[in-house]
Chain A
Amino acid sequence: MTALAGWSDETLLENLERAAFEYFPLNTNPRNGLVADTSRENSPCSIAVVGFAFAAYSVAVARGWIERSDAVRRILAALRFFRDSDQSGSTLATGFKGFYYHFLDMRSGARVWRSELSMVDTALLIAGALTARMYFDAPSPDEAELRELAESLYHRIDWCWAQDRAATIRMGWKPESGFLHYGWEGYTEAVVMYALALGSPTHPIKQDCYQAWTSTYQWENLYGRDFLYAGPLFVHQFSHAWIDFRGIRDRFMREKRFDYFENSRSAVYIQREYARRNPHEFAGYDENGWGLSACEGPTGTVVGASGAAWRGLGYAARGVPYGPDDGTLSVPAVLASLPFAPEIVLPALRNLLARYPEVLSEHRLSTGINPTWADPHGRAWVSPGHYGLDQGIVLMMIENHRNGSIWRRMRACPYLRRGLERAGFGGGWLRRTADEEDR
């Protein structure tokens, strides 16, 4: 940790980004390209983590951390697996209607944990595939196949089916019980999913589906800041990993004279303000100790400084300001906020690394820490191992902060651009690109 303290911001970020990347080759089944949800033994594959891996390989090639051919080989293994996977929708299949079950067996690719066919996780997988498609543009047969496979997997997704005649896209489906009872309500990480669903050349949803979703938004003034409310930080990050929201606005944001990037910046400041006020008197919360998001925390019960007994929530999406909150902080969620508010993220990151050096193992960030659940020696509870989603979002957001390369690449993705335009986005780089095309 002493060494970290002396590093420049650039060195610190370079090391954290590279360590995050290393998660993927270390936790991938090379035979089928599937990537484990966590570094823990017997972890299944998370399809969203595979999507992040696709983007990570593109970044790693550009940064010289992996040979281009090696990256292509790894991505192709996964794309071919998904192409050939069982799409029957049976209880042990891999997917249905072009979507995939959330968690898959690392060896066979069959559904595990009775998980749901996940619309948003499929979207993250495909966003990653399209990122790779945009990066690997060489005329070689392998890269041509990569591009073709990425497109064909995207094209076969039946987004209209996922709407199930409802106003918005459903969250999931199970072979045993059909669609989950709930759709998307309120602002979430699903913008990228809607953009892909609207931009599909084969099964596009209607534009009113997006409007129906945004009509559930809550525009709030909180701690003196205007803000499109969503509690956990990851909601303000996941779509932003792929889409550069600076200056582009949909109808909702035009009316508010705001944009989603600025909104994420507000979310970061509100997180800090919440921690500074620390209503539940959790240990470690202050202006440089924040970061409530989806992550693993402790279970069991503890009595906090306020005298209140708190139940640990395990893995849960924690949020600000309405909770849930059990004193668990996600350092990866802090770091992934870097593009939005580096002036407060970097001090918080350095502070958390200094206070809780055990949050780093193998140079990678653990998903959650909880200083209120300290051990008898005063050491904070730390989630063991690493989560692929954390490593993916950390890598992408550091990269976007450092040079914006993923954002730039995805601006050129015709499907994403069409989807954003059909969602009503305009202005900023969307308009400029259109002008360029006109010229």
Chain B
Amino acid sequence: MPRLSDPHPATPQDDHERKRVAELRPATWANPEPEGRYPLVIVGGGFAGLAAAELAAARGIKVALVERDFLGGTCVNTGCVPSKAIIRTSRLYAEMRDAERYGAQVPTGIRVDFPATMERVRRIRAHLGQPNSVRHLAAAGIDIFFGDARFTGSDSLAIDGSTLRFDKALIATGARPSAPSIPGLAESGYVTNENVFELTQLPRRLLVIGGGPIGCEQAQAFCRLGAHTTIVQIKPLFLEREERDAAQLLSTALARDGVVVRLNTRVVGIRVANGEKLVDLVSDDFHNTIAVDAILAGAGRLANVEGLGLESAGVDYDRERGIRVDDFLRTSNRRIHAAGDVCLEHKYGHTAITSAQMAVRNALFRGRERWSKLVIPWCTFTDPEIAHVGLYVREANRQGIPVKTFTVLMHEVDRAVTDSEEAGFVKIHVREGSDRILGATIVARHAGDMINEITLAMVANIGLSKLAKVVHTYDTQAEAIQKAAKACSLACASVAS
């Protein structure tokens, strides 16, 4: 097992890892000689930086891309991709144990092969990293620089002794896990959502600190892989931002998986004794100590703004919230835009890509696109998944918008029943007295896929009643959306009559 608080635990050097390194950060790479002045310099080669580089290059813009670690950034290397891979394997184990629900026999002698699970993670990560490879980018005419970039002025930055001058720049340095300030945490050692995928042995007992999306996803996955998992959340419900019914269903799901759920609980101290990590917990006035073998912490995200010389470039930032941008994603330096986790509240792969492309259009092609006009869905990839788009009811209430919610339980949907996936619901919020969709929350096995239909309707300004007339394939779980639409259509008709 790697040293847990080490930010770079040793990744097993197998063929997959060698392939990933060769593609995304080749050891033999030599930075090119910089051109005189680049129309666009991008700092950060993650999802945002790559999306920006590809869009600009495709439109004939000469781009320099600077990355200090692996191309592909968090999503490919330490975030979305490895996390989905491990979630899928853990789901398979859960289904094997639950086979009787599906009229099947529980396989005898189910044994979790954790090294194989992690090898699959590395294989998929290496495979999906290929489109982001140095080879591909160089072939597209993009100059790739590896190293630490530092702005030296309003239109220049230094890297490894070279100076890159630019007309426009995009900062897309992403974010990193932020560990909570808990006495003894650093000394005891812990993993974060970024290096947890480098584990080669399954911890027997795992503590997950934080009940946000990442904490819940990982707690469920590791529990299903066989770790005795406890999740501690300081708030009384998981996923503070989500609707409480969704959080309630998630609590039930985690408990059914065997996760020990400790809501309304703080970790106040950690120490090591006899090879165990002893964790002191407080729930109101109840104190107790649990022993674990590993701790997953740092589910929060902190923007990467340090060491960039932002002051020299005249770029305002905040250590908590990251780089300050306006609605056009422009920083306080008019030459420089920002995109992705370094400046956005919603830190997701799709927001990184979308914001980067918008920033390029605004910076180079006279775009006037506003970030606030976008309709952005997101999803927590637990089982069931929790997906949301648009306004929450509480936000609508705060804004004085009368809201009505059309709810369809997944147990009303044939396909959910045949798949034994009845836990969940579709809730679509409309402005009361109309069919204008304000937002939606979906809790379902494939909520992340289903939410896209609502997002499309919102972007295209399609009223919910109209979705009732859209023929939906029988037998699919998306029928839940159509059922909600039919209920809305009926309600609108009764108001009209």
Contacts and interface: CB of A to CB of B under 8 A. Distances in A.
B316 interface: no
A313 to B, nearest CB: 9
A427 interface: no
A309 B258 CA distance: 11
A439 interface: no
A311 B255 contact: yes
Given A174-B284, A181-B236, A308 B98 contact: yes
A341 B248 CA distance: 28
A311 B254 CA distance: 12
A224 B249 CA distance: 22
A221 B404 contact: yes
B412 A277 contact: yes
Nearest to A214: B397
Contacts of B255: 311
A221 B398 contact: no
Contact of A181 (B98, B235, B406, B432): B235
Given A221-B487, A311-B256, A321 B402 contact: no
A279 interface: yes
B8 interface: no
Interface in A302-324: 303, 306-309, 311, 321-324
B427 interface: yes
A7 interface: no
A219 B405 contact: yes
Contacts of B422: 279-280
A180 B284 contact: yes
Nearest to A222: B407
A222 to B, nearest CB: 5
B409 interface: yes
B394 A216 contact: yes
B187 interface: no
A182 B425 contact: no
A137 interface: no
Nearest to B486: A224
A177 interface: yes
Interface string B270-312: 0000000000001011100000000000000000000000000
A70 interface: no
A255 interface: yes
A224 B284 contact: no
B250 to A, nearest CB: 11
B409 A321 contact: yes
A224 B427 contact: no
Interface string B378-412: 00000000000000011001100011111101011
B420 interface: yes
A221 B432 CA distance: 11
B487 A177 contact: no
A208 interface: no
B407 A182 contact: no
Contact of A224 (B252, B286, B487): B487
Contacts of A217: 397
Interface residues of B, number: 44
B320 interface: no
Interface centre among A218, A279, A323 (most CB of B within 10 A): A218
A185 interface: yes
Interface in A176-191: 176-177, 180-182, 185-186
A114 interface: yes
A116 B264 CA distance: 14
Contacts of B234: 181
Given A215-B394, A307-B103, A174 B252 contact: no
A324 B252 contact: yes
Interface in B86-120: 98, 100-103
A330 to B, nearest CB: 19
A220 interface: yes
B472 interface: no
Contact of A306 (B248, B412, B420): B420
Interface string B330-365: 000000000000000000000000000000000000
Nearest to B102: A307
Contacts of B487: 221, 224
A322 B236 contact: no
A177 B284 contact: yes
Contacts of A218: 243, 245, 393, 405
A312 to B, nearest CB: 12
A183 B137 CA distance: 53
B244 interface: yes
B464 to A, nearest CB: 11
B406 to A, nearest CB: 5
Nearest to A324: B252
B411 A277 contact: yes
A217 B392 CA distance: 12
B401 to A, nearest CB: 11
Contact of A220 (B102, B103, B412, B427): B427
Among A280, A307, A324, the most chain B Cβ lie within 10 Å of the Cβ of A307
Most chain B beta-carbon contacts within 10 A, residue among A174, A215, A226, A255: A215
B340 to A, nearest CB: 33
B429 to A, nearest CB: 9
A220 B252 contact: no
Nearest to A304: B101
A216 B397 contact: yes
Contacts of B286: 114
Nearest to B410: A279
A309 B101 CA distance: 9
Given A219-B432, A224-B487, A306-B101, 16 more contacts: A181-B235, A216-B394, A216-B397, A220-B427, A221-B404, A221-B491, A224-B490, A229-B245, A280-B422, A307-B100, A307-B101, A307-B102, A308-B101, A308-B420, A309-B256, A324-B252
24 contacts: A114-B285, A116-B284, A174-B285, A176-B284, A180-B264, A180-B284, A182-B236, A218-B243, A218-B245, A218-B393, A219-B432, A220-B404, A221-B491, A222-B407, A222-B409, A224-B487, A277-B411, A279-B409, A308-B101, A308-B420, A322-B245, A323-B249, A323-B252, A324-B248
5 shortest interchain CB distances as A-B pairs: A279-B411, A176-B285, A307-B101, A215-B397, A322-B245
